[in-house]
Chains A and B, each alone.
Chain A
Amino acid sequence: AQRVTQPEKLLSVFKGAPVELKCNYSYSGSPELFWYVQYSRQRLQLLLRHISRESIKGFTADLNKGETSFHLKKPFAQEEDSAMYYCALTEGGSNYKLTFGKGTLLTVNP
C-alpha cells in the first residue's frame, strides 16, 4: 500500500531563512510525487511535481529513491509562503489513486 508521511505538522521560520518541508513515502514501484499548497481560504493547488524538475516560487524538490524522500526546499522564505503544504503520491500509469500526507503548516514570520 502506498503511504506518504510528513513528520512535521507545524513549521515556523523567519523571513529570509531557509525552509525544508519533509516528505517520505512508501511504495514498492515507481511513484510520481507532488507538492500541493493551500493558501488561507483557497483551494489546494499543485505547486510542483518531481517529473518536471522545475522550480516554482523558488521552491524545489528532489526525489531520492534511496531514502524514499521528496523534501521541499526554499533557500529564502517569504511571508507569502505561509500556507499548508501537502506531499502527494500517485502510482501513475493506469492507477489513478492519489494519496496525500497529513500536511505541514508553514508559518513565515517577519
Chain B
Amino acid sequence: DAGVIQSPRHEVTEMGQEVTLRCKPISGHNSLFWYRQTMMRGLELLIYFNNNVPIDDSGMPEDRFSAKMPNASFSTLKIQPSEPRDSAVYFCASRSTGRTEAFFGQGTRLTVV
C-alpha cells in the first residue's frame, strides 16, 4: 500500500479563490481525519469521518471550510473563498477500527496570497 495519498503537495492561490485538497486513505481504513498545521496553533483537528460519515466537524474554523467523503477511498477539503490566514499545511490521516494508530499523508502546503 502506498500509504495515505494527498494532492496537491503544494498549492499557491490568490485570496478569494476556491481551493480543493484531496485525500486517498489507506485501503480498508474506515476513519479519516483532516488536520491543519501552523506554527502558532500546532496540529488542529478540523473534521473526522467514520465509515464516510462526518462525526465531528467542530474544528472547522468557518463556513468557508467544508469537507466531504463520498466513498471509502476519497475525501476532499474545500475552502471557498480562501484567505491569507488559511495558509498552512493540511494533513489527512486514516486508521482502521480496532487499531488506534493513525497514518498520515505527506500534507498539502497551502499558500494564499
* A interface, CB within 8 angstroms of B: 6, 32, 34, 42-46, 49, 86, 90, 92, 96-103
Contacts and interface: CB of A to CB of B under 8 A. Distances in A.
B50 interface: yes
Nearest to A91: B100
Residue with the greatest number of chain A CB neighbours at <10 A, chosen from B33, B43, B93, B105: B43
Given A43-B107, A96-B31, 7 more contacts: A34-B100, A96-B95, A98-B33, A98-B48, A98-B100, A98-B102, A103-B43
Nearest to B56: A97
Contacts of A32: 100
Q: Which 6 A-B pairs have the closest CB atoms?
A: A102-B42, A100-B43, A44-B104, A96-B31, A103-B42, A43-B104
26 contacts: A34-B100, A42-B106, A43-B3, A43-B105, A43-B106, A44-B43, A44-B104, A49-B101, A86-B42, A86-B43, A90-B100, A92-B100, A96-B48, A97-B45, A97-B55, A97-B56, A98-B33, A98-B45, A98-B48, A98-B93, A98-B102, A99-B45, A100-B44, A102-B41, A102-B43, A103-B42
Contacts, number: 54
Nearest to B43: A100
